Each structure stands twice: as C-alpha cells, then as structure tokens.
C-alpha cells in the first residue's frame, strides 16, 4: 500500500519537515532503506545514518536537530520507536489471516471450535479443551486435556501445552514452546538415587502475554506457575516450577529462573540472566546481560555482573580491573623497597 508522507503524518500526528507529497510504500532500517521506504531514528548511535540514508521519510523525535542537511522528509513525533510499532502492527493486521480446520488433525469429541478459529494440519486438541473466539492453532500443535485458551490466542507451529494449563486473552506463543512440562522436582534418597516428585500443578498465562520460540515454562509442583498480564518473554527461556513473573516484565533470550522465585512487575531483564531459586525480586529493576542473581532484590535497582551488584559498583570494579597489572607491579615494587629498608 502506498501513502504520501503528509497523509501518514496526519494519521500519526506528526509534523512534516520536507516534501509532504513524497510516496511511502515500504519500511526498512535506516542504514538499509531505499527510495520509497519509511525508517526511523530512535537510538543516537545511528544518527550518522540519517545524513546518508536513501529513505524517503524518517521518523525522528520532535527535538531532533540535524547537524547537516538531510535529504529525506522528516516526520517529527514524540517517540519514533513507539510510532513505528503502531505502524508495523497496522501493516501486519492487513495480512490475510488463516481460517477453518485443516486436515488431518485431531479434535476430541465434545470440543467446541468457534466459527472464526483456525486449526492447522496435524494439530492435536485433547478432550475438555475450551477455546475463545478467533483462536489460531498452527500445524503440529498439541493442546492437552482440559486446557483453556482465551480470545485471540495464537499458537505457532509445534507449540505444546500440557493438560490443565490456562492461557489468557490475546496471548501469543511462538514455535516450539512447551507450556506445562514437569517441574524439576526429585527427592534425594539414602542410596544416592532420586525419586521423582509428581508435579500436579498447572501454568497460568494471564492476558496479553507473549512467549518466544523454544521457551519452556514448567508446571507447578502444587498450585500454579503464573506469568502475569503483559509479560514478554524472549526465545530460549527456562521458567521453573512455581515461579511467578509480575506484570509487564520483559526478559531477553536464554534467561533461567529456578523454582519458586517470585519476580515483581515492570522488570527489564537482559539476556542470559540467571535467578537462583526461592528468591523475591521487587519491581522496576534492571538486570544487565549475564547477571547472576543469588539473593533477594528490592525495588528500583540497576544490577550488573555475577554475582549481581549495583551497576555503579560494577563500573568501578571494571575500572580497577583494567589497572590490575599496573597495581600488581606497584605492589611488587613496594614490597621490594620495604625488604631493602628492613635489611638496612
């Protein structure tokens, strides 16, 4: 679909600086854009690209001041990244949506499939499953006995949801994810072996949760593992049994959360962060990539390192490490001087 920059500006509440009649028919990154593309500038480290980009229009902040001439038309908005998200979601919503029931697939007797649902080939829907409206279940998904799927749920290919789990409205679960596998519960025995502890709980995903590909969320030993409203989990994350993740928390790839840890709301967690078990993590914290979190954390912290410490302390330690060889040599020199003084 083609639109003029001025028309787009009216749609998103932007101020136009440049040619309002220039045509936009595609989207691209600022360093890769060509004629006809709309791009954006949100991160200052990409600013140099705005002077060379071939994009027809660029979303920028209202207070952006170019240091050199810019050939592209500028669309000034409060938040370029948030505006782009709205536009891309609008574009994505125009894609044709699958519908109907493909064959072969298995739908247990008694399961009611809404008229607007999609069930792909080789999907397996067990008995007692309840589906909301506009559910999309892509090929090779497994939905276990007694699972509840809310409205507008999307299960991408190969998703597995074990028995009894509850998925809220507008949840998206990407390919290869497993919801409700057994928690890692084994009781050590006197002879050194381990007896499995039955995991009889469930997993609950509240509304507006998105789970990345190949993530695993274990069912609770008893009760529920709970992923609260608005949580976004990246690919390849492990969530242990009886974990709770608070509202609007986001986690990047390869994080691991050991059993029974409770994480508060609005936390931002970088890639490969590990949380020990049975912890209490507060609200509004930021965890840098590869943090190791061995103990409880309060609210409003910025943590780095393993074990995780205050970000400012981590920066100081990093500065000291750079001088470690120099400091070591200074100490050797001082020791030698002290020994010489003692001999005198």
Q: Report how far Cα 342 is from the mean position of its chain's Cα atoms.
A: 62
Q: What is the pLDDT of residues 168-216, one digit of tens each?
A: 999 999 999 999 999 999 999 999 999 999 999 999 999 999 999 999 9
Architecture of domain 3-93: 3-Layer(aba) Sandwich (3.40)
The domain 100-312 belongs to what CATH superfamily? Hexapeptide repeat proteins (2.160.10.10)
The pLDDT, as a whole number, for residue 344 is 80
pLDDT score, position 25: 93
Q: Which residues contact 37 (CB under 8 A, 6 or more apart)?
A: 24, 25, 26, 27, 28, 54, 55, 56, 57
Tokens of 101: 């029931």
What's the predicted TM-score (pTM) here?
0.87
Residue-range domain boundaries for the chain? 3-93, 100-312
Helix (H) or strand (E) holding 80: helix 80-93
What's the residue count for the chain?
344
> How would DSSP label each residue in 190-230?
TTS-EEEPP---EEEE-TT-EE-TT-EEEPPSSSEEEE-TT
pLDDT tops 90 at residue 94: no
- Catalogue the active-site residues: 241
| Same fold for the pair 3-93 and 100-312 | no
* pLDDT of 97: 86
């Amino acid at each position: 679909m083609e639109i003029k920059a001025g028309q787009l500006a009216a749609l998103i509440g932007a101020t136009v600086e440049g040619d309002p009649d220039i045509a936009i028919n595609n989207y691209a990154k600022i360093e890769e854009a060509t004629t006809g593309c709309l791009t954006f500038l949100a991160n200052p480290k990409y600013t140099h690209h705005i002077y060379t980009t071939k994009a027809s229009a660029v979303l920028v902040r209202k207070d952006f001041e170019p240091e050199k001439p810019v050939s592209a038309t500028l669309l000034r908005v409060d938040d370029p990244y948030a505006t782009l998200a709205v536009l891309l979601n609008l574009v994505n919503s125009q894609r044709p949506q699958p519908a109907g029931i493909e064959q072969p697939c298995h739908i247990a007797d008694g399961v009611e499939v809404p008229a607007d649902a999609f069930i792909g080939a080789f999907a397996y829907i067990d008995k007692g499953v309840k589906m909301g409206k506009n559910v999309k279940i892509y090929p090779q998904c497994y939905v276990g006995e007694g699972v509840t799927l809310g409205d507008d749920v999307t299960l991408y290919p190969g998703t597995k949801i074990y028995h009894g789990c509850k998925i809220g409205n507008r949840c998206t679960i990407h390919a290869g994810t497993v919801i409700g596998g057994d928690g890692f519960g084994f009781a050590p025995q006197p002879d050194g072996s381990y007896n499995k502890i039955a995991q009889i709980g469930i997993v609950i995903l509240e509304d507006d949760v998105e789970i990345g590909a190949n993530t695993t969320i274990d069912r609770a030993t008893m009760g529920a593992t709970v992923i609260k409203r608005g949580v976004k989990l990246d690919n390849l994350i492990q969530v242990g049994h009886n974990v709770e993740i608070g509202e609007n928390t986001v986690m990047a790839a390869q994080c691991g959360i050991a059993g029974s840890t409770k994480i508060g709301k609005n936390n931002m967690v970088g890639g490969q962060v590990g949380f020990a078990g049975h912890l209490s993590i507060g609200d509004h914290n930021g965890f840098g990539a590869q943090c190791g979190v061995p103990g409880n954390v309060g609210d409003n912290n910025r943590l780095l390192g393993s074990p995780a410490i205050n970000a400012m302390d981590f920066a100081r330690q990093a500065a000291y490490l750079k001088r470690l060889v120099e400091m070591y040599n200074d100490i050797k020199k001082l020791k030698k001087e002290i020994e010489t003084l003692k001999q005198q």
